[in-house]
Amino acid sequence: MPDRVLTRRAAIAAVLMAAAAVSGQAMVPTKRMALLRGPFKLADLVPTAFGNWRLDNSAIGGIVDPQTEAMLDKLYSQMLDRVYVDDAGHRIMLSIAYGADQADDDVQLHYPEVCYPAQGFRVTNNRIGQISLPEGTIRVRRLDTQFSDTRYEPVTYWTIVGDQQSLGGWDRKISEIRHGLHGEIVDGLLFRVSSIDRDFEAGFRVQNDFIRDIVHALTSVARKQLVGLA
């Protein structure tokens, strides 16, 4: 084969390799969504009273933290734990955890179906559901959890990765890829609602009412960030 042909092919290969390298570098996420959002406090986004619900200041030790404090500090940039009570005496435990960087596997959101068993709970049922609201539909995961024979805790949760709802797996990957194509490093948020109730289905019905009321009370900005709905 003539030298000039080899030289031409080598030049073409070099150009293609350089283009691929530049393209790959361009697709490496560099913009943190956490910084693009600007500073915020979860406590300011979530109202303390709405509908028939208000803070239950008498509740002590009601919310289960499925991880140690040191682990929580490592995983999350912010956490908000509250207990609400309504006029009928129903109590709902709300836990919101926000992580500013989901690109690092070591600090990604940890899911309740993994964390609850680590604290001695049994997950006796795990299923996907949805809650229809005037503002849109939330895809959620429902867990029936039980600690010995003393605590029965129905759990409803969802996560937001970047700016869209996610239940992990492919949902999460799709969001990471979509934002990555725009050079964005996704943040993540876990929104968990639970209650103490031996009747899991009755507990989930009360949780649905709570979720509808709190979502309706959020500002549009908070609704987008916490629920993934406009």
pLDDT at residue 182, as a whole number? 63
Q: Is residue 21 part of a domain?
A: no
pLDDT at residue 151, as a whole number? 94
Q: Is residue 52 part of a domain?
A: yes
pLDDT at residue 223, as a whole number? 95
pLDDT at residue 74, as a whole number? 53
CA distances from 132 to 1, 162, 185, 211 (A): 69, 22, 30, 10
pLDDT tens column, 67-107: 555 455 555 678 999 999 999 999 999 999 998 765 555 44
Task: Give how many domains the chain has, as a whole number.
Answer: 1
The Cα–Cα gap between 189 and 172 comes to 12
Q: Is residue 138 part of a domain?
A: yes
The Cα–Cα gap between 142 and 167 comes to 11
Contacts of 117 (CB under 8 A, 6+ apart): 123
Q: Is residue 23 part of a domain?
A: no
Q: Is residue 16 part of a domain?
A: no
Question: pLDDT below 70 — which residues of the chain?
Answer: 1-29, 32-35, 59-76, 101-108, 169-183
Which residue has tokens 């910084």? 35
pLDDT at residue 87, as a whole number? 95
The Cα–Cα gap between 197 and 194 comes to 9
pLDDT at residue 10, as a whole number? 52
The Cα–Cα gap between 71 and 82 comes to 20
Q: Is residue 14 part of a domain?
A: no
Q: Is residue 206 part of a domain?
A: yes
Question: The whole model's pTM is what?
Answer: 0.78
| 179 within 8 A of 157, measured Cβ to Cβ | no
CA distances from 46 to 30, 32, 134, 176 (A): 30, 23, 19, 26
For residue 78, what are the domain limits? 29-227
Q: Is residue 167 part of a domain?
A: yes
pLDDT at residue 107, as a whole number? 44
State what percent of residues in the chain have pLDDT above 90: 50
